[in-house]
Amino acid sequence: MSLTSSSLSERLLPEHVVARARLGDREPLARLVIAGLAVLLVAVMLFSLTTGALQISLSAVVNGLFGQGEAASPSDLRDRIVLMDVRLPRVLLGALIGAALAVSGAVMQGLFRNPLADPGIVGVSAGAGLGAASMIVLGTTALSPVVAVLGIYALPLAAFLGGLVTTFALYRIGTRGGMTSVATMLLAGIALAALAGAATGLLVFIADDQQLRDLNFWGLGSLAGANWEKILAAGPIIAIVLVGVPFLANGLNALVLGEAAAGHLGIRVQRLKRIAIVAVAAATGASVAVSGGIGFVGIVVPHLLRLTIGPDHRFLLPACALLGGSLLILADTVSRTIVAPAELPIGILTALAGAPFFLWILLRRKGLVTS
């Protein structure tokens, strides 16, 4: 088969260079979008801090966050307690988890070279959930020595290990000779998710009443239990991943051309894959450990941004972090206000929005829809 000079160049050049050639130079647009998303994140955080069963004015929020001294009145003291002990941890946790899930989705899609890869869809979240469920149910018996040593970090570490094992198994099953089979990957993800679900079901069967309540929290996904201790447990893990993953951007761009081509471009492919797998497992595991299963963020956010700023991971990854955090904070604000004083699990909202989007992607890839 002969190759034209154009197609040969596209095989040899990094993915972001090819994207520029095909779609024009979107770097100025990407930088503008990232700046806009940073502003959006701050605005969404302030909106969420002021909104809820107890309305808190913007001036009270700013004063509570940056002001000093004692509260001037009992109502000011009440607002400050609600702000600092309830809403601020929740907003920060939402920003961290939304960013972690969106970035994990973008990394998995770059690693597998497939836009359908997502930690929730291919079973990574289920594996992380199994690890966390094991710690919840067995943490007072068989795994009590682990809990005694690790303390509050035992749960996120267990979720991390569950996600890591699942991601590694998925990669080994779905990849042969440097090529990833989409059908094999999705089917393997379904099988691994079912296996993790069955094991979690066994843990539910032997759990006591308190453990059952904790496990139900997992299944639905929620930020209702957000507090400073959970931020301390999961925040450092997620923060390390969010800071470190952008350094993989050029490698992920080159990997789109294939492992052999990426290797010829000087990318240490095997090391890149190992780091990416560990990063996805750590971010997903820590997120699942403190919020339960929140799906579709990892597939919706990267796709929305690729349509706008293109596939260059140098810009896609930070943009995913900002938009993912904003969307999850908004979803959480809706979940705790739409049926107040009750609270709708956030996992239901993300599934309602994400499932139709996922179907649209499938139909678009089949050519049944054009936009």
Two tokens at 74? 């009992």
Q: What is the pLDDT of residues 26-42, one digit of tens each?
A: 788 889 999 999 999 99
266: left (phi over 0), alpha (psi -120 to 50) or beta: left
**What is the C-alpha to C-alpha distance for residues 308 and 28, in angstroms, rounded to an integer?**
12
Cα→Cα distances 353→194, 299, 325, Å: 23, 11, 16
Query: In the chain, how long is the greatest CA-to-CA distance?
Result: 80
Amino acid (1-letter code) at residue 287: S
Q: How far apart are CA 228 and CA 64, in angstroms?
A: 17
Query: Where are the chain's structural domains?
Result: 79-221+228-356
Tell me the two tokens of residue 105.
């989705």
Q: What is the pTM of this model?
A: 0.81
Confidence (pLDDT) at 368: 59
CA distances in angstroms from 80 to 93, 230, 324, listed in the order given: 19, 20, 27
Answer CATH for 79-221+228-356 from 1.10.3210.50, 1.10.3470.10, 3.40.50.1370, 1.10.3720.10? 1.10.3470.10
Each residue's pLDDT tens digit, 204-263: 888 888 778 777 766 677 888 788 888 988 888 899 999 999 999 988 888 877 777 888
If you search the block for the tokens 């079973």, which residue do you land on?
Answer: 123
Per-residue pLDDT band for 69 (boundaries 50, 70, 90) equals: low
Percent of residues, the chain, with pLDDT higher than 70: 87
Q: How many CB atoms lie within 10 A of CB 196?
A: 23
Residue 21 has pLDDT above 50, yes or no: no
Rounded mean pLDDT of the chain? 80
Phi, psi (rounded to 5 degrees) for 67: -75, 165
Higher-confidence residue of 215 and 68: namely 215
Calpha distance 361→115 (Å, rounded): 9
pLDDT in tens, 296-347: 888 889 988 988 888 889 999 999 999 999 999 999 999 888 877 778 888 7
pLDDT digits (tens, 9 = 90+) for 83-123: 888 899 999 999 999 999 999 999 988 887 777 777 776 77
